[in-house]
A and B are shown apart, each in its own frame.
Chain A
Amino acid sequence: MVILKVTDAKSFPGSIRECKTFNLYKMEVEMRKSIFTIILICLLIPLVSFAGAPLDSVKAQINKVLDVLRDPSLKGEAGKKTKKAKIRNISDSFFDYTELSKRTLGQNWSKLNTQQQNEFISLYKQILEDAYADKIVTYTDEKVNFGKETQLTEKTVEVQTVILTKKADIPINYRIIQKGNEWKVYDVVIEGVSLISNYRNQFREILSNKTPDALLETLRKKVGKA
């Protein structure tokens, strides 16, 4: 509409166009328009060129977990259970367990057929959740500092964090991958120890002299589903 008005002004008789007040009015419109475009540029660039900064997405997820841990209404054993359930929900959207499983098995991934792969993903997920949910729930007043983010490959980024506990500062780095518009965790590096490569070595040792079925059986026993 504004643009139309100004283009209409061109067709006005000269006397009106040269009128000072009209020129001022025109300048004001121009000013407003250019400010508008600048704002538009500022708004559009981050929207279009980034799928949401990796650091921010990690921050948001960790803060969600911290909120659950610090929830004063969740106390005692029952509270712990709800906390665990809530953290499990967050981790479901935060972690990409398929990517995690693929990278953990590496070359061995193709030794499993589709059905075995799917079972592996769900068992592995359960093992990780069982192992770490108990640990995380014991944290209450620990602080998390967020460090820098490092581009690993075209689609993967490592975000550094440090958990400050009374006893020590524990560096935990999250390796995340871009999936569509989201960033998902595929590896956690605690004190320099990569989760997936630690498990990779264990699985490799098992698969070097056993079949994928035997591996799945071991995992089933581990989660108590034998």
Chain B
Amino acid sequence: MKSSSVVLLVLCFLFCFFTNVFSDTLSSSEEKSTKPIDTTISQEPKASEQEIVQSVPETKSESVKSEISSEDIKKSDTQAKESSQQEIIEEEKEETIQIADPLYPWNKAMYHFNDKLYFWVLKPVSKGYSAILPEDMRIAVSNVFYNIATPVRFAGCLLQLKIKDSVNELIRFLYNSTAGVLGLADAAKEDLGIARKEEDLGQTLGSYGIGHGFYIVWPFIGPSSLRDTFGKIGDGFLDPVNYVNPAEASIGITAYDKVNTVSLHIGDYEDLKKSAIDPYVSIRDAYTQYRKKKVEE
């Protein structure tokens, strides 16, 4: 009886000790796999990580001072090399796929065009518009447009064989059109807990393994790619707004949708530009990363 509790205590300490040691050996064993090093090094992985900054540029001077215990120098050298190598490897793992940009001159020109379009036309118009219509109403309007575009997402789900999502889209459309009063409210999300899920043809093509091709910026529309442009055209056929007659009315509705959307996001583009060092590259990369995530979802 007595001994059992003592044994338990000892076991507990041993367990704690080993979990600690184990996590340490894990890290050192990875280092060892690349190059056999003395066991003493495994005790200082944290220090070595912080010292890369200093030790990398100092390697030259260290090799000159060969008088000082050569072993130490070798150790710190290998450490620096290993950790910087490890870092680079990690970096490359995380690296996102870059998009080709052969139309750079055109794209850059269109980027400037859209930039001016935003600051000179879209932003002032949207500001005036939002002064008239309160935010809640504008959100309701955007919900209506979102609801109308259901066929686009429904087809996207079906083409990717996401049966559950396509059923959800159908439920959302029926529920929001009725209980949500013509889609003014996103009742399906609030009452049924079915969240929005963006799907489009570009994503569908992406899920088939088709790459972007290259980056392309369209006037009025903004960043896109070869693949997503084809996707957009296909989506256009499924968006009821494009079937409104006459064509002027259809364009007018699309423009209104754009103004309404912009009115809800005034400041976002400014923030993006403000935070970026090179806004063109930042937007191109953000577009690529954003679409990649959408395709993976």
Contact = CB atoms under 8 A, between A and B. Distances in A.
A63 interface: no
A48 B20 contact: yes
A135 B264 CA distance: 15
A193 interface: yes
B260 to A, nearest CB: 12
Contacts of B290: 191-193
Interface in B20-69: 20, 23, 26-27, 30, 46, 52-54, 56-57
A153 to B, nearest CB: 7
Main secondary structure of the interface of B (DSSP, over half): helix
B232 interface: no
B226 to A, nearest CB: 20
Interface of B: 1-2, 4-5, 8-9, 12-13, 15-17, 19-20, 23, 26-27, 30, 46, 52-54, 56-57, 84, 87-88, 90-92, 94-96, 98, 135-136, 139, 195, 264-265, 267, 271, 274-278, 281-282, 284-286, 289-290, 292-294
Given A34-B5, A49-B16, A109-B87, 11 more contacts: A45-B19, A48-B20, A102-B87, A110-B56, A130-B274, A131-B275, A155-B27, A166-B136, A194-B289, A201-B282, A201-B284
Interface of A: 3, 6-7, 30, 33-34, 37-38, 40-41, 44-45, 48-49, 98, 102-103, 106-107, 109-110, 113-114, 117, 127-128, 130-132, 134-135, 138, 153-155, 166-167, 169, 179-180, 191-194, 197-203, 205-206, 218-219, 222
* Pairs A-B, 8 closest by C-beta atoms: A192-B293, A131-B275, A48-B16, A106-B91, A49-B19, A41-B12, A201-B285, A193-B289
